[in-house]
Structure 1
């Protein structure tokens, strides 16, 4: 028998997997209010005071909670964390720390971490790049920035898009989404860009989060117009300015959208298999692109 979708008690048209930690009624992201542990609904926050021990209020009644009751889960089946912004904060910290490190250490550190297919390093007097076995550049470039406006724009976008996704997906799935989006952007850039062209920045990962936001909003029956307008503006900017690595943006967008679709539309009876299987397929596609380009450059 097909499982009935759980819907927000204040917005019956919106599916959700998040519950109030006090009354356990299902709530959508619009109704979630951060608490010291998890989220609470507006009515519990407004009433104040703790809920009765071992009980929860539902529709004006009090029901007993079994000691072994399952922990509330997110819409994708992830555990609800006490701090739904923790992974986003860590990612922000890594980006900022690496930006400061490049400012202190200079161009040498940036050149060692930036994404480049194949180029000749005059300082080291040798060929460098992903094609020469430096595959780590596909990931390090995702956390690398140069200009203040570049990192400021990406980090503001991460802070705006990240926490709602982290709360909805759970920490592990959200981190997988971010990393696979970044790697997907790097892989497509490596595949299509000139071999000596360097690129850096979290834009690919951010575009992945933007695509995931659209998928999640569509799944929860939210108004799609704001995210559609934002996506359209970013795509226009991507192709208007010649110094932007459009390949990374598109690669991240495709990877993030694919990962998010697999996560939020996975059937409950095979949820983990479908979700992590989708991540595996996106990672496999990334590896294929990298291998194909490496063969082109070294064959």
Structure 2
């Protein structure tokens, strides 16, 4: 640092971002003066905001085995999904539960049908009549405590594992798209006047994807197959009140989507995954469109 000459007064350094603030603290990286408001803790000393931002851009983020950004809080997306399901469950109960107007709006009804709503016969619009949101909202809707209890327990167990393996964005895509494929299967295979709710399609999609991962890494496939078999038996035995269509569609969707995410070539993996998911999404939407034409 230059020393002041005879007759000169040493100038007090000021923050490079706040010229009216005197400071004797300097950034450990670029050595510019920084005031307390601009100090950012670093491995050694403090850095200025510009150097911190530049370091974040130049530091490569840790990636999962299948291309996603490794989550710092595994299970965060799972917790949000559980919160969404529970919130809608509470809203449906508050609105009257079975036979409420809200349930008739959120549940998947393939075609306009008459239902008893709040004690009165009411004509309820279905997906084929324009209520396409039901394909998604039905995935988050429950009305029985045992139903949401089993589904959220399964999500709590399976979700964080896949979230850590795939990354948050890919896990969320797997969950939502598996649920949508399950809804499409319900739309095609259920009676036109049926009413279907529940996250089971998405949950079965997680099981299918986890099975794909186990096969890829030569893991404990036997245990997963046993889990799938148990759920299959429960679905068959309870077919009078359980949507086997949603379970089947979600599981197949999970297998396909899991295969796209896990077996995508390492070179340009993200591009391959996006292309594969786009194809699955377009085929699902095409199936929904064709079913709508057959119903109307």
**TM range, smaller chain:** 0.7 to 0.9
Residues 258, 278 of structure 1: 8 Å contact kept = no
Residues 201-248 of structure 1: per-residue CA shift (max 9 Å, x gap) = 000000000001101111122121110100011111112212111110
Cα deviation per residue 1:89-118 (whole Å; 9 max; x = unaligned)?
000000000000001012111111100101
1:244-263 matches, within 5 Å, as: 244-263=242-261
2:70 to 59, 65, 80: 80
1:117 corresponding residue in structure 2: 110
Aligned length: 234
Structure 1 runs of 4+ with >3 Å offset: 121-127
Q: What TM-score does the superposition give when structure 2 sets the normalisation length? A: 0.76
Aligned to 1:98: 88
Alpha-carbon contact 2:104-2:124 (below 8 Å) kept: no
Could you tell me which of 119, 133, 137 is aligned with 1:136? 133
The alpha-carbon deviation at position 124 of structure 1 amounts to: 8.5
**Is 1:279 equivalent to 2:274 in the alignment?**
no
SS of corresponding position for 2:268: helix
Which structure 1 segments of 5+ residues have no match? 1-52, 55-66
CA-atom RMSD, angstroms? 1.6
Tell which deviates more after alignment, 91-100 or 232-241: 232-241
1:209 to 2:206 alignment: yes
Cα distance in 2, alignment partners of residues 127 and 69 from structure 1 = 54
Q: Which runs of 5+ in 2 are unaligned?
A: 1-42, 45-56
> Within 2, Cα distance between the matches of 1:289 and 1:265?
25
- SS of the residue 1:218 aligns to: helix
1:170 and 1:77 map into 2 onto residues whose CA distance is 8
Deviations 1:168-209 (A, max 9, x none): 100000000000000000001101111001110000000000
Which one has a bigger Cα radius of gyration?
2
Instruction: Tell me the equivalent position of 2:17.
Output: none
